[in-house]
C-alpha cells in the first residue's frame, strides 16, 4: 500500500512529461514570445493587451507564471471576481517535486496576493419582497439571470455600478441600481408588484369530433346542431338527378358504350376469323390438287414420289394449318366480343329499369382458360 502514492506520483510525472514533449518547438517558442509581450504590456499599464497575450501563451503552454500576471492584470482593471478565480486556480495546482523554481515562486506569490485580494472583494445580497410565491420569477444582475440558489446569500461582485431587476409572467420589480465600493457588503431589495397581466391560461385542446364514414357517404343526412344554434349544413336532400353518382344501380352511358364497342370488336374479329378459315380451306384444296397431280406424274400407284412437289405440298399444308389457327382465334375472339356486348347490354337495360332488388335478372360474363361463359340470375 505504501507503494501506491509513489506509483501515482510517477504516473503524474510521466503524463506531465509526455504532454511537454507532445508540444512542438514552434508552440513553445510562440508561447514564450507571447508571455514576454504580455509581461511588457503589463509593465506598460496595458492590462487588456497583457491579458490577451498571456491567455494565448497559456493556451499553448501551461505555466503558473502566465496565470499570475493574468490575475494581476484583472485586479488592476477592477475585475476582482475574475482575479480571485485565477489566483485560486494557481494555488490549487499540485506542482511536481522537480517543478521549475518560477512555478513555485508564482504559486507562493498567488497565495499571498489572493489573501490581499479577498479583503478588497465586495459582496451584494439580493432579497425579494412582495409576492415571492409568484411562479417563474427570475432575477437579473446586469442583464444576466441569476440562479435561484444565489438569491438571499452574498454574491462576490466587482466594484462599481450594478443593475438588478426581477420579473415574471404576472409580476415585476423596478430596476434597482447600486454602486458598490471595494470591501463593501451591500444588500439590494427588489419589491415585486403585480403587472396587471392575466396569468397565462391553460388552453384545453378541443376534442376531435368523430365523423362516421356512413354519415359522410349518405346523401341528405341531417347534421344535428347544438341547442340554440343553427346549423349551416344543408339538410335538404338533393334532387334525384344529382344523386346519380351515388346510386349503385346507375352506371350512366358507360355500359351502353361498352356494349356497342364489344359488338363492334366482336364482329370485326369474327370477320377476320371467317376470312382465315376460308383461306385455310382454299390452301388445303390447293395442297390436295398438287398431291393428285403428283400421284399422276409419279407413274401411278397412288403415291407421290416427286421431291419438288412433295415440298410444295408440305408448304401448302403448313400454310393451311397456320391460317386455320388464325381463323379459330378470330372466331373465338368474335364470340367473346359478341357475348360481352350482349352481357353489357343486358346489364345496362337492367340498371335503367330502376329496380333495386337483388332478384333483378342480371348476367355477368365469365372468362377462363380456353373457356368463356356467363353467369347470372333470371
Q: Write out the three cell numbers for 295.
A: 400421284
CA-based angle 179:185:186, to the nearest 5?
50
pLDDT in tens, the chain (378 residues): 444 344 334 434 434 444 444 589 999 999 999 999 999 999 999 999 999 999 999 999 999 999 999 999 999 999 999 999 999 999 999 999 999 999 999 999 999 999 999 999 999 999 999 988 888 999 999 999 999 999 999 999 999 999 999 999 999 999 999 999 999 999 999 999 998 776 665 555 555 444 444 433 343 433 344 444 444 444 444 444 444 444 444 555 777 787 788 888 888 888 888 998 998 889 888 887 877 777 767 665 557 777 777 888 888 888 888 888 998 988 888 888 888 877 877 877 777 665 444 445 555 665 555 555 656 655
Q: Which of 120, 149, 165 is the last residue of a domain?
A: 120
Residue recorded with cell 417563474: 136
CATH code for the domain of 110: 1.25.40.10
Q: How many domains are there within the chain?
A: 3
Q: Which of 194, 212, 232 is the last residue of a domain?
A: 194
Residue recorded with cell 353489357: 344
Tally the C-alpha atoms within 13 A of residue 260's C-alpha that lie toward its C-beta: 4
* 190 strand-pairing partners: 128
174 three-state secondary structure: coil
Q: Which of 101, 120, 139 is the last residue of a domain?
A: 120
Report the alpha-carbon distance of residue 256 to residue 344 in Å, rounded.
7
Bin 220: left if φ > 0, else alpha if -120 < ψ < 50, else beta.
left
CATH code for the domain of 168: 2.60.40
In-domain check, residue 213: no
Domain with 63, as residue range(s), is 10-120
Q: What are phi and psi of 357, to 5 degrees?
A: -75, 145
Residues contacting residue 164 through CB under 8 Å, at least 6 positions apart: 126, 139, 140, 141, 175, 176, 177, 178, 188, 190
Class of residue 81 by CB neighbours under 10 A (exposed 0-12, middle 13-18, buried 19+): middle
N residues, the chain: 378
**Local structure of residue 132 (DSSP, 8 states):** T
Amino acid at each position: 500500500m505504501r507503494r501506491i502514492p509513489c506509483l501515482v506520483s510517477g504516473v503524474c510525472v510521466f503524463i506531465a512529461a509526455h504532454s511537454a514533449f507532445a508540444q512542438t518547438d514552434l508552440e513553445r517558442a510562440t508561447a514564450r514570445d507571447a508571455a514576454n509581450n504580455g509581461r511588457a504590456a503589463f509593465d506598460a499599464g496595458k492590462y487588456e493587451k497583457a491579458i490577451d497575450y498571456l491567455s494565448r501563451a497559456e493556451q499553448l503552454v501551461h505555466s503558473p507564471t502566465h496565470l499570475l500576471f493574468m490575475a494581476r492584470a484583472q485586479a488592476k482593471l477592477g475585475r476582482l471576481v475574475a482575479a480571485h478565480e485565477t489566483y485560486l486556480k494557481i494555488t490549487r495546482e499540485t506542482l511536481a517535486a522537480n517543478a521549475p523554481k518560477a512555478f513555485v515562486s508564482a504559486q507562493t506569490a498567488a497565495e499571498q496576493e489572493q489573501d490581499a485580494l479577498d479583503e478588497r472583494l465586495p459582496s451584494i445580497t439580493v432579497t425579494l419582497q412582495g409576492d415571492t410565491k409568484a411562479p417563474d420569477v427570475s432575477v437579473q444582475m446586469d442583464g444576466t439571470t441569476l440562479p435561484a440558489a444565489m438569491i438571499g446569500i452574498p454574491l462576490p461582485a466587482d466594484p462599481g455600478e450594478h443593475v438588478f431587476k426581477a420579473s415574471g409572467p404576472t409580476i415585476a420589480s423596478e430596476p434597482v441600481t447600486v454602486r458598490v465600493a471595494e470591501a463593501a457588503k451591500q444588500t439590494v431589495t427588489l419589491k415585486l408588484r403585480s403587472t396587471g397581466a392575466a396569468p397565462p391560461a391553460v388552453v384545453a385542446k378541443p376534442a376531435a369530433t368523430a365523423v362516421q364514414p356512413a354519415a359522410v357517404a349518405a346523401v341528405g343526412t341531417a347534421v344535428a346542431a347544438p341547442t340554440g344554434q343553427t346549423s349551416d349544413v344543408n339538410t335538404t336532400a338533393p334532387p334525384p338527378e344529382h344523386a346519380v353518382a351515388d346510386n349503385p344501380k346507375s352506371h350512366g352511358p358507360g355500359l351502353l358504350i361498352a356494349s356497342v364497342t364489344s359488338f363492334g370488336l366482336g364482329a370485326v374479329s369474327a370477320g377476320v376469323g371467317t376470312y382465315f378459315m376460308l383461306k385455310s380451306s382454299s390452301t388445303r384444296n390447293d395442297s390436295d390438287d398438287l398431291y393428285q397431280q403428283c400421284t399422276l406424274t409419279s407413274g401411278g400407284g397412288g403415291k407421290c414420289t416427286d421431291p419438288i412437289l412433295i415440298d410444295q405440298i408440305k408448304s401448302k399444308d403448313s400454310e393451311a394449318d397456320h391460317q386455320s389457327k388464325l381463323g379459330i382465334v378470330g372466331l373465338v375472339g368474335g364470340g367473346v366480343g359478341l357475348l360481352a356486348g350482349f352481357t353489357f347490354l343486358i346489364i345496362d337495360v337492367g340498371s335503367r329499369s330502376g329496380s333495386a332488388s337483388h332478384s333483378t335478372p342480371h348476367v355477368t360474363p365469365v372468362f377462363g382458360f380456353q373457356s368463356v361463359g356467363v353467369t347470372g340470375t333470371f
